[in-house]
C-alpha cells in the first residue's frame, strides 16, 4: 500500500490517499482517525469539554468536538462503514518537543473506526474538511482553544477523487511555469531552483480575512512584517509572481503608523506590535527589487500584468515612503530618529527593534539600542533611493540633500576611526580606534566591535555608504569569520559570548539565537556583496553556484523535505534547527540564484 497526503490549494481540506498496488486479495481497509483539534502552539489533553457524539453521513461521519468551533467532516471516496467507538488514547510522546523543553505528551481522541471494502488493486481517498455548524452545545475548553475566530459555514468534500485530480493538474501547470522561469539554468542548479520555487509557494497565503500575506515559517510562525519584506523579492519578484508581490507590498503599506510598519499580523489580518525599526527600511529595499525585476520581465508576460515600475511606485508606494522618511527624521516611537550627523538612532534598552530580537525574561539577549550598523546602512540606502525618486518624479526635495554626504561621512564611526577625521564630533563625543571591519552598534560613545553579519548590508544594498576598499574589507572579514557551509554565523567564534550549539530549553535556545547560530537567509546579502567586490565576477559566480549546490544537495532532504530550515548550529556539523521551512531562507537563496543568472 502507498499512502499520499495532499492539501488542495484554496480549500480548507486535507486529502489522504491509499493506493493498493499489489494486494493478493480483497479485504478491509480499517482507518482510525485520531483528533487533536487544537492550535499549533498547544497540545491536547483528555478533558470533559469534548463532545464525542458523531453524526453518520454518507461514507463517513461528522463531529463537532468543541462548541463554537467548526465541526469536522470525514468521508471516503469509496463506499465505507463508520462505527462510533469514542475513546481517548493517552500519552502520545514527541521526542523533539521534549528536547526543546516544551510539553511533549499529548492525548488524542478517537471518534470511531472507518472500514472500507477494498479489491486487489484500488484507490481510497479520505477527505477531512469543515462542515456546517451544528446547534450550540455546552462550553469550551479555554486551555485547548484559547483563540476564538469567526466561523463561516463549510461544505464537506463531495467528490475527493475529482478534487485530487484537479489539484494535480493545477500543480502541473505551476511546475510548467517554474520550468519556464528557470530556463536559464541547467543540471543540478535547475533542480535545486525548481525545488526552491515549489517551496516558495507555500509561504504565499491568503488570510481568512482575504488579506494577501507571507507566512514567516512552518510549523509555528505567523505573518511578520520584517520577514515579509525581506522575503518578497525572492518569493515573488525572482519567481515571476510580480502581481502577488505588489499586492502584498500594497497591503502592508496601508498599515503604516508614525513611519512604522507592523512587525506582526494576527490571524485575522489585524496589524499588531509596531516594535521594529527596520521593517520600514526594508520596505524601500523591497520596492527597489520590484523596480529592477519589472524592468527585466517582458511587458507581455502573463505573470506581470501590472503598470510600469515608475507609475506603480509613484502611485502606490511613494506616499508611504515619504511619510516614513519624515517620521524618522522628526523622530517617532521607541527613540527612533535622526541625529545631527544624519545617523539613525533606535531603541531605549528595553525593546529589541532589529532582526536580532531574541529576549529572555523581558531583556534583549543581543542589546542593540543606539546606532546599529545595518539600520544606518538601510537608512542611507533609503535616503539615496528617495532622492533619486524625487528627481525622477519631478517632486520638490523631500529633505536637505546635504544629509546624504553627511551620513556617509558619519558612517565612519562604525569603523572606529578617530573622531577628528569626521566632519563633526561623533555621537557622544567619543574617540574611536580603527579596526579592519565594521562594528555592530555605536552606543553611548562606545563602539561594540563584535564581528557580526549585520555589516554585510553596508556592502550589499543598492546604495552603499562605503568606498570600494572598505567594501572589500567587510566581505573579507565576513567570509573569514562568519561564513559556514549553510549560511553566516551571527557572531564570530572568537567572541567570548559565542554559542556554537542551538540546543536546550527555550531560554537556552534564545540565548544562542543570535550569538553564533547560523542563518541561511544572510547568504543573499553575502553573495550580492561578494559579487560587488569581486576582481573576477565570473569566477565568484561559479564559486557561489558550487556553494549552493553543496548546501542544497545535503539540506533539501534532511529537515523539512524540499525546504530550507530557519537556523543551523554555528559549530560543525551545523545541524539544522528552528522552523523546518523558513520563508526568508528560501527567498534569499532564490534571489541569490537570480543574481547569478542576471549579472
pLDDT tens-digit series, residues 75-125:
999 999 999 999 999 999 999 889 888 899 999 999 999 999 998 889 999
pLDDT at residue 306 above 70?
Answer: no
pTM value? 0.89
Q: Is the pLDDT of residue 149 over 50?
A: no
| Strand order, beta sheet including 264-265 | 223-224, 264-265, 271-272
pLDDT tier at 29, thresholds 50, 70, 90: very high
Q: Which residues pair with 328 in a beta bridge?
A: none
> What are the sequence ranges of the domains in the chain?
2-158, 169-201+482-599
User: For 333-361, how does the pLDDT look when each residue is reduced to its tens digit (9 = 90+)?
Assistant: 999 999 999 999 999 878 889 999 887 88
Q: What are phi and psi of 564, to 5 degrees?
A: -120, 130
Shortest CA distance to 582 belongs to which of 548, 557, 549, 559? 559
Indicate the average pLDDT of the chain. Answer: 89
Q: Which helix (H) or strand (E) holds 323?
A: helix 318-330
What pLDDT is recorded for position 152? 37
Residue 158: count other Cβ atoms within 10 Å of its Cβ. Answer: 10
Residue 232 has pLDDT above 90, yes or no: yes
* 3-class SS of residue 335: helix
385, pLDDT greater than 70 = yes
Whether residue 584 has pLDDT greater than 80: yes
| 324: confidence class by pLDDT, cuts 50, 70, 90 | very high
Longest dimension (CA), the chain: 89
Decide which of 176 and 421 is more confident: 176
C-alpha grid cell for residue 142? 479555554
pLDDT-derived band at 418 (thresholds 50, 70, 90) equals very low
Q: Is 178 helix (H, G, I), strand (E, B) or coil?
A: helix
Residue 5 has pLDDT above 50, yes or no: yes
385-407 burial, b at 16+ Cβ within 10 Å, e below that, comes to bbbebbeeeeeeebbeeebbebb
Alpha-carbon distance values, 443 to 197, 250, 366, 455, 474 (Å): 41, 35, 13, 16, 21
Smallest CA-to-CA distance from 128 within 249, 237, 6, 23 is with: 6
Q: Which residue has 537563496 as its cell numbers?
A: 589
Mean pLDDT of 172-177: 95
> What is the structure's pLDDT at 209?
80
More confident residue, 297 or 268: 268
Tell me the C-alpha distance between 248 and 241, whole Å: 11
Mean pLDDT of the region 225-236: 97
The C-alpha atoms of residue 493 and residue 263 are separated, in whole angstroms, by: 30
Q: List the beta bridge partners of residue 16.
A: 5, 126
CA distance 534 to 544: 12
Residue 417, preceding bond cis, omega within 30 degrees?
no
Distance CA 488, CA 452 (A): 9
Range of 155-164, 176-185, 483-492 with top mean pLDDT: 483-492
Q: Which residues contact 16 (CB under 8 A, 6 or more apart)?
A: 3, 4, 5, 6, 125, 126, 127, 128
pLDDT surpassing 60 at residue 434: no
Instruction: Say what the pLDDT of residue 268 is.
Output: 67
Q: What is the pLDDT of residue 124?
A: 96
Locate 579 and state its grid cell: 522552523
Which pLDDT value is given to residue 150?
Answer: 36
Look at residue 586 and give its three-state secondary structure.
helix
Asked if 316 contacts 322 with a C-beta cutoff of 8 angstroms, the reply is: no
Q: pLDDT tens for residues 488-504?
A: 999 999 999 999 999 88
- 598 pLDDT band (50/70/90 cuts)? low
**pLDDT for position 143:** 37
Percent of the chain with pLDDT strictly greater than 70: 89
Distance CA 134, CA 67 (A): 8
Amino acid at each position: 500500500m502507498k499512502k499520499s497526503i495532499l492539501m488542495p490549494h484554496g480549500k480548507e481540506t486535507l486529502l489522504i490517499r491509499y493506493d493498493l498496488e499489489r494486494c493478493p486479495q480483497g479485504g478491509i481497509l480499517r482507518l482510525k482517525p485520531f483528533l487533536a483539534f487544537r492550535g499549533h502552539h498547544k497540545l491536547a489533553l483528555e478533558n470533559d469539554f469534548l463532545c464525542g457524539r458523531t453524526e453518520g453521513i454518507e461514507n463517513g461521519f461528522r463531529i463537532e468536538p468543541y462548541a463554537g468551533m467548526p465541526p469536522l467532516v470525514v468521508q471516503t471516496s469509496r463506499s465505507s462503514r463508520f462505527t462510533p467507538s469514542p475513546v481517548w488514547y493517552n500519552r502520545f510522546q514527541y521526542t523533539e518537543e521534549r528536547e526543546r523543553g516544551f510539553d511533549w505528551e499529548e492525548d488524542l481522541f478517537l471518534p470511531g473506526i472507518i472500514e472500507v471494502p477494498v479489491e486487489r488493486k484500488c484507490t481510497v481517498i479520505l477527505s477531512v474538511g469543515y462542515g456546517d455548524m451544528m446547534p450550540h452545545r455546552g462550553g469550551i475548553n479555554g486551555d485547548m482553544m484559547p483563540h476564538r475566530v469567526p466561523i463561516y459555514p463549510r461544505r464537506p468534500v463531495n467528490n475527493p477523487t475529482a478534487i485530487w485530480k484537479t489539484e494535480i493538474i493545477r500543480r502541473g501547470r505551476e511546475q510548467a511555469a517554474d520550468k519556464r522561469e528557470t530556463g536559464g539554468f541547467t543540471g543540478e542548479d535547475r533542480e535545486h531552483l525548481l525545488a526552491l520555487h515549489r517551496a516558495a509557494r507555500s509561504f504565499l497565503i491568503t488570510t481568512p480575512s482575504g488579506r494577501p500575506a507571507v507566512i514567516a515559517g512552518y510549523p509555528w510562525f505567523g505573518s511578520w512584517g520584517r520577514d515579509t519584506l525581506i522575503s518578497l523579492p525572492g518569493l515573488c519578484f525572482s519567481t515571476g509572481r510580480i502581481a502577488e508581490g505588489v499586492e502584498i507590498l500594497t497591503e502592508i503599506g496601508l498599515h503604516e503608523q508614525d513611519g512604522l510598519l507592523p512587525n506582526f499580523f494576527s490571524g485575522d489580518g489585524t496589524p499588531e506590535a509596531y516594535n521594529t525599526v527596520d521593517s520600514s527600511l526594508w520596505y524601500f529595499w523591497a520596492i527597489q527589487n520590484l523596480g529592477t525585476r519589472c524592468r527585466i520581465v517582458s511587458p507581455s508576460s502573463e505573470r506581470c500584468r501590472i503598470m510600469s515600475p515608475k507609475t506603480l511606485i509613484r502611485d502606490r508606494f511613494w506616499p508611504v515612503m515619504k511619510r516614513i522618511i519624515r517620521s524618522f527624521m522628526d523622530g517617532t516611537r521607541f527613540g527612533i530618529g535622526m541625529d545631527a550627523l544624519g545617523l539613525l538612532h533606535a531603541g531605549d534598552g528595553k525593546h529589541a527593534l532589529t532582526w536580532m530580537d531574541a529576549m529572555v525574561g523581558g531583556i534583549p539577549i543581543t542589546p542593540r539600542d543606539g546606532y546599529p550598523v545595518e539600520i544606518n546602512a538601510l537608512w542611507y540606502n533609503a535616503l539615496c533611493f528617495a532622492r533619486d525618486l524625487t528627481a525622477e518624479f519631478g517632486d520638490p526635495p523631500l529633505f536637505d540633500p546635504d544629509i546624504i554626504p553627511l551620513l556617509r561621512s558619519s558612517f565612519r564611526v562604525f569603523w572606529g576611526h578617530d573622531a577628528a577625521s569626521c566632519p563633526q564630533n561623533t555621537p557622544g563625543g567619543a574617540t574611536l580606534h580603527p579596526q579592519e571591519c565594521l562594528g555592530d552598534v555605536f552606543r553611548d560613545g562606545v563602539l561594540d566591535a563584535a564581528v557580526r553579519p549585520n555589516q554585510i548590508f553596508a556592502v550589499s544594498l543598492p546604495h552603499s555608504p562605503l568606498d570600494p576598499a572598505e567594501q572589500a574589507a567587510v566581505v573579507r572579514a565576513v567570509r573569514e569569520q562568519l561564513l559556514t557551509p549553510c549560511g553566516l554565523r551571527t557572531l564570530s567564534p572568537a567572541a567570548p559570548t559565542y554559542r556554537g550549539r542551538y540546543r536546550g530549553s527555550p531560554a537556552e535556545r534564545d540565548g544562542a539565537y543570535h550569538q553564533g547560530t547560523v542563518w541561511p537567509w544572510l547568504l543573499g546579502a553575502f553573495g550580492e556583496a561578494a559579487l560587488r567586490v569581486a576582481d573576477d565576477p565570473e569566477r565568484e559566480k561559479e564559486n557561489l553556484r558550487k556553494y549552493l549546490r553543496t548546501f542544497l544537495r545535503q539540506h533539501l532532504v534532511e529537515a523539512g523535505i524540499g525546504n530550507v530550515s530557519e537556523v543551523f548550529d554555528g559549530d560543525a556539523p551545523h545541524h539544522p534547527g528552528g522552523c523546518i521551512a523558513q520563508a526568508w531562507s528560501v527567498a534569499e537563496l532564490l534571489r541569490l540564484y537570480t543574481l547569478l543568472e542576471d549579472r
